[in-house]
Copies of this chain bind each other. A is one copy, B any other.
Amino acid sequence: MSSSSRLDDPEESFMTEVENFFNTAPPLKDHSVIEKKLKGFIERNSHASENGVSMKRIVCVTSGGTTVPLEQRCVRYIDNFSSGHRGAASTECFLKAGYAVIYLHRRGTCQPYCRSLPDDPLLECFESVNGSSVQVQQAQAEAVRKAIANHHAALAAGGLLKLQFTTIFEYLQLLKMIGIALRDRESRAMFYLAAAVSDFYVPWESLAEHKIQSAAGPLDMRLAQVPKMLSVLRKDWAPLAFCISFKLETDSHILLEKASTALKKYNVHAVVANELVTRKEEVTVVTTHGKTCIRREAGDDEMDRKENEKNTNTNL
């Protein structure tokens, strides 16, 4: 009975899936602390004016990959590759353009203004002098100074709020909280969804409590699809916000078609299509008005050249 009525109404069945996801997810730690911070940030930036308009625009930039735990007491998890460089770079641009930015990022990924620094700036950029004081190395001095100064200035100006996630459960609960909190901002809010969000997960209740044992031979796993929350963001959480999503594929043959499908299906304003290997050089922005391919000019950005070099080693 219930399964036949579900089949009858895919919309209802989808909403049940969404509800199930949130009802069974492990609750967010510090939920109320984060919500208070978020509301304070939105409130303060509602009074700030921007270019003579009385309400500053707020963008939520998502960045980095989400994880999917394979055990409740989590030793193993599935992760999505993403350094967070695009989200960090975009955050810098939005701040420069006068937006207030909620930077919803994966713990430990790239921070705004730090893209040109080595992976481990403390050990690679600083030296100890006579064992008694610490000094930045000459060659890195300017990059380090800029990173720290710009980052602290952005935080001090009150236009940057950083929120962190690790799992898909944390990410989607935070996105929902931000969506609902920004609903009243209508078109003065934007979602810029650059995070690499898991498509598959193991529902919390189906997770093994303990570490999966390896003695029993090969491991068979069934992963369920994560409900496409972009639909819910567009329809329920913040329907009037401007919304840009990202599509990453490794196969260029299906990329643009998938981007066009996503544009219609989720009713977003733009989809940025990018291919894994060329993503730092070229993207295609797909809107209802058409497709625009954007290529980086040679020597465009010294910072990004350095990034590319760094990432060569972390990608298979």
Digitize A243-259: 1 where CB-to-B-CB distance is under 8 Å, 0 elsewhere: 00000111100000000
Nearest residue in B to A196 (C-beta to C-beta)?
A: B75
The answer for the CA separation of A249 and B225 in the assembled complex, in Å, is 29
Q: Is the CB–CB distance between B123 and A114 below 8 Å?
A: yes
- Does residue A70 face the partner (Cβ distance < 8 Å to B)? yes
Digitize A91-112: 1 where CB-to-B-CB distance is under 8 Å, 0 elsewhere: 0000000000000000110010
Q: Is the CB–CB distance between A119 and B114 below 8 Å?
A: no
Q: Is the CB–CB distance between A220 and B218 below 8 Å?
A: no
Digitize A197-231: 1 where CB-to-B-CB distance is under 8 Å, 0 elsewhere: 01110000000011110100111111111000000
> Taking the nearest CB of chain B, how far is it from the CB of A108, in angstroms?
6
> Taking the nearest CB of chain B, how far is it from the CB of A223, in angstroms?
4
Stretch at the interface among A128-136, A181-189, A283-291, A297-305: A128-136
Q: Is the CB–CB distance between A251 and B145 below 8 Å?
A: no
Q: Is the CB–CB distance between A122 and B107 below 8 Å?
A: no
Query: How many chain copies does the complex carry?
Result: 2
Q: Is the CB–CB distance between B123 and A73 below 8 Å?
A: no
* Tally of chain A residues near chain B (CB < 8 A): 74
- B residues near A141, Cβ cutoff 8 Å: 134
Q: Is the CB–CB distance between B225 and A73 below 8 Å?
A: no
- Does residue A15 face the partner (Cβ distance < 8 Å to B)? no
**CB within 8 Å for A211 and B250 given contacts A127-B152, A133-B145:** yes
- Does residue A234 face the partner (Cβ distance < 8 Å to B)? no
**CB within 8 Å for A76 and B80 given contacts A114-B122, A134-B148, A144-B134:** yes
- B residues near A147, Cβ cutoff 8 Å: 122-123
Q: Is the CB–CB distance between B76 and A81 below 8 Å?
A: yes
Q: Is the CB–CB distance between B219 and A315 below 8 Å?
A: no
> Taking the nearest CB of chain B, how far is it from the CB of A256, in angstroms?
15
Partner of A250, one of B73, B111, B123: B73
Partner of A148, one of B77, B81, B126, B223: B126
The answer for the CA separation of A220 and B107 in the assembled complex, in Å, is 29
- B residues near A153, Cβ cutoff 8 Å: 128, 131
Q: Is the CB–CB distance between B248 and A107 below 8 Å?
A: no
**CB within 8 Å for A276 and B218 given contacts A108-B108, A134-B144, A250-B210:** no
Q: Is the CB–CB distance between B214 and A199 below 8 Å?
A: yes
- B residues near A214, Cβ cutoff 8 Å: 199-200, 225
- Does residue A296 face the partner (Cβ distance < 8 Å to B)? no
- Does residue A166 face the partner (Cβ distance < 8 Å to B)? yes
Q: Is the CB–CB distance between A73 and B220 below 8 Å?
A: no
5 A–B contacts, CB within 8 A, in A order: A67-B79, A73-B276, A73-B277, A77-B81, A218-B223
Pairs of residues from A and B, 3 with the lowest C-beta to C-beta distance, nearest first: A199-B214, A128-B149, A73-B250
With A108-B108, A209-B250, A211-B276 already in contact, 18 other A-B pairs whose C-beta atoms are closer than 8 Å: A69-B316, A73-B276, A73-B316, A75-B80, A75-B81, A76-B198, A77-B78, A107-B119, A111-B123, A123-B151, A128-B152, A131-B153, A134-B136, A167-B316, A199-B214, A200-B212, A210-B249, A219-B223
